[in-house]
Chain A
Amino acid sequence: GENVEQHPSTLSVQEGDSAVIKCTYSDSASNYFPWYKQELGKRPQLIIDIRSNVGEKKDQRIAVTLNKTAKHFSLHITETQPEDSAVYFCAATGAGNMLTFGGGTRLMVKP
């Protein structure tokens, strides 16, 4: 089945700096790659997603890039703010049309 690896597991940045989280996947047939943000004590919520027919997608301060050849995709957050502090999960579709999640990245933005 699909295997998704996510790095780093923790990331600490200064407010205003950029943060980048990277994921790799194993199933070349995967074609949907969402990113979820989970704040402390809350449920994961979708923040951005990308499909395999595009290489990049932006939404204000967040962007996702996809390299199908290398089978990796990344989340970029610019001008980080304290409220960006959370755990971020990447995911990819795999066999049986099932989403498989990465292990998560704990992002801490220091004011």
Chain B
Amino acid sequence: GAGVSQSPSNKVTEKGKDVELRCDPISGHTALYWYRQSLGQGLEFLIYFQGNSAPDKSGLPSDRFSAERTGGSVSTLTIQRTQQEDSAVYLCASSFTGRETQYFGPGTRLLVL
């Protein structure tokens, strides 16, 4: 079946603009994660959705970052007033439950000029 998909694959924006990144998880997966990965660095946890529970937002680096998950499926990560330090690859992952194998999407490469 289809894996996790993300769009756009690449995004170039100007400093101060807002961006929206989309994640389509594997159908039936109740858990969805967003990570940020800067060049050559590890996986920085951003936010975790599990079913209908309140999301764990503890990893969001500032109030410019927010995420939604509509209908328990598609998720959108929004970055407002982008800064150059927001440039990174944003990875989405989903799992059947939070405790199971995570399947990663291909990521969105964000460049803020």
Contacts and interface: CB of A to CB of B under 8 A. Distances in A.
A73 to B, nearest CB: 16
Contacts of B58: 1
Contacts of A44: 43, 91, 104
Interface string B71-99: 00000000000000000000100010111
Given A96-B98, A98-B56, A89 B43 contact: yes
Question: Chain B interface residue count: which class?
Answer: 20 to 34
Given A43-B91, A43-B104, A43-B107, A93 B99 contact: yes
A100 B103 CA distance: 14
A49 B99 CA distance: 12
B77 to A, nearest CB: 16
B67 to A, nearest CB: 15
Interface string A33-50: 010000000011110010
Contacts of B98: 93, 96-99
